């Protein structure tokens, strides 16, 4: 399969879990009706982005994998004959929780899962309180539409993660995301942050010669502790293997869109931009150090 139709579902979330689920399902169905073979949802699409505060009661949002969400989205994938990438708060064991992306195959089975490896701890993004770092490594997931390199949000800032996925044969890098502005920042700072987010991911496409799909949420979510909250900036996009935009959403709209992606172009691009060929792995040993003093 060379060209695959990739669906992106970008939407706002509220404290009503059923409403959020309905939006995700509606977006998936709309994308499938428009020819999507693969549909990607945003990070933690089931709920508000709860990591704005540290609250032990919020661990109740977590669920087992397999569990209710994988069963529901598996049935939907089977009904529609598509592959779905979800993002769930995984309860692995008492006291062990992960930020986990799950891929449902078109027969309804779980094709694989990825546990977020890089866990941030910043104002408004207190993820280290909730998530144990992933232990599944950077392993692509084989599906009927190709080999998918699934990564999650904060992972998108690390070129090492994208490189390892590409080196393992990923044909497409996929980033479910929840990222936004602090409303107290001025417009110039907001623009710098959003542009940096887009640029780093386009760079992963270029450096590895593979397409990138990034799906983010939209809307303002209040801080339960009384802070300014977060304004999620949307801008879900698809970039080709030279970093070219195949699609870019705006910062506010809820949408379901289908984007054709030619996986065969990666072969052509890598022939004239052979970054993998010219890597000097014999001199990269210091990358295993935190810092060169």
pLDDT tens, residue by residue, 87-130: 999 999 999 999 999 999 999 999 999 999 999 999 999 999 99
Joined together, the tokens standing for residue 181 give 């502005």
Range(s) of the domain holding residue 265: 3-288
What's 227's domain CATH number? 3.60.110.10
Asked whether residue 1 carries a pLDDT value surpassing 80, the answer given is no
Under a CB-based contact definition with an 8 Å cutoff, are residues 272 and 238 in contact?
Answer: no
- What is the Cα–Cα distance from 145 to 142, expressed in whole angstroms? 8
248 inside domain = yes
CB-CB neighbours of 198 under 10 Å: 17
58 inside domain = yes
157 inside domain = yes
Half-sphere exposure of 198 (CA within 13 A, CB side): 22
Q: Which residues pair with 39 in a beta bridge?
A: 7, 84
Joined together, the tokens standing for residue 222 give 């209040």
Under a CB-based contact definition with an 8 Å cutoff, are residues 15 and 221 in contact?
Answer: no
162 inside domain = yes
pLDDT tens, residue by residue, 253-285: 999 999 999 999 999 999 999 999 999 999 999
Mean pLDDT in residue range 157-173:
98
47 inside domain = yes
Give the count of domains, the chain. 1
Joined together, the tokens standing for residue 10 give 């970008």
User: Would you name the residues annotated as active-site residues?
Assistant: 43, 116, 153
293 inside domain = no
pLDDT tens, residue by residue, 13-41: 999 999 999 999 999 999 999 999 999 99
pLDDT tens, residue by residue, 214-247: 999 999 999 999 989 999 999 999 999 999 999 9
- What is the Cα–Cα distance from 9 to 100, expressed in whole angstroms? 18
pTM higher than 0.95: yes
- What is the Cα–Cα distance from 206 to 81, expressed in whole angstroms? 31
- pLDDT band of residue 12 (cuts 50, 70, 90) is very high
Under a CB-based contact definition with an 8 Å cutoff, are residues 148 and 141 in contact?
Answer: yes
pLDDT of residue 20: 98
pLDDT of residue 156: 97
184 inside domain = yes
pLDDT tens, residue by residue, 127-153: 999 999 999 999 999 999 999 999 999
């Amino acid at each position: 399969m060379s060209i695959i139709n990739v669906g992106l579902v970008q939407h706002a979330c509220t404290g009503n879990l059923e409403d959020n689920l309905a939006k995700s399902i509606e977006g998936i169905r709309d994308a499938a009706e428009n020819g999507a073979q693969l549909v990607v949802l945003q990070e933690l699409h089931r709920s508000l982005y709860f990591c704005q505060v540290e609250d032990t009661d919020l661990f109740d949002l977590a669920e087992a994998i397999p569990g209710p969400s994988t069963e529901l989205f598996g049935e939907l994938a089977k009904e529609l004959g598509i592959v779905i990438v979800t993002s769930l708060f995984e309860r692995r064991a008492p006291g062990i929780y992960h930020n986990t992306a799950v891929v449902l195959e078109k027969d309804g089975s779980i094709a694989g899962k990825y546990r977020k490896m890089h866990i941030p701890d910043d104002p408004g993004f207190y993820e280290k309180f909730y998530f144990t770092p992933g232990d599944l490594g950077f392993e692509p997931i084989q599906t009927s539409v190709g080999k998918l390199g699934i990564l999650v949000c904060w992972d998108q800032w690390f070129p090492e993660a994208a490189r390892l996925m590409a080196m393992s044969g990923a044909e497409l890098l996929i980033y479910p995301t929840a990222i936004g502005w602090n409303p107290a920042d001025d417009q110039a700072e907001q623009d710098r942050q959003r542009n940096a987010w887009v640029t780093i991911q386009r760079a992963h496409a270029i450096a590895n010669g593979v397409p990138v799909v990034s799906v983010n949420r939209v809307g303002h979510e209040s801080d339960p502790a009384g802070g300014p909250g977060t304004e999620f900036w949307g801008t879900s996009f698809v970039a080709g293997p030279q970093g070219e935009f195949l699609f870019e959403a705006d910062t506010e709209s809820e949408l379901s869109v289908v984007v054709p992606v030619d996986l065969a172009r990666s072969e052509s691009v890598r022939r004239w931009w052979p970054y993998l060929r010219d890597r000097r792995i014999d001199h990269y040993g210091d990358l295993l150090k935190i810092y060169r003093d």
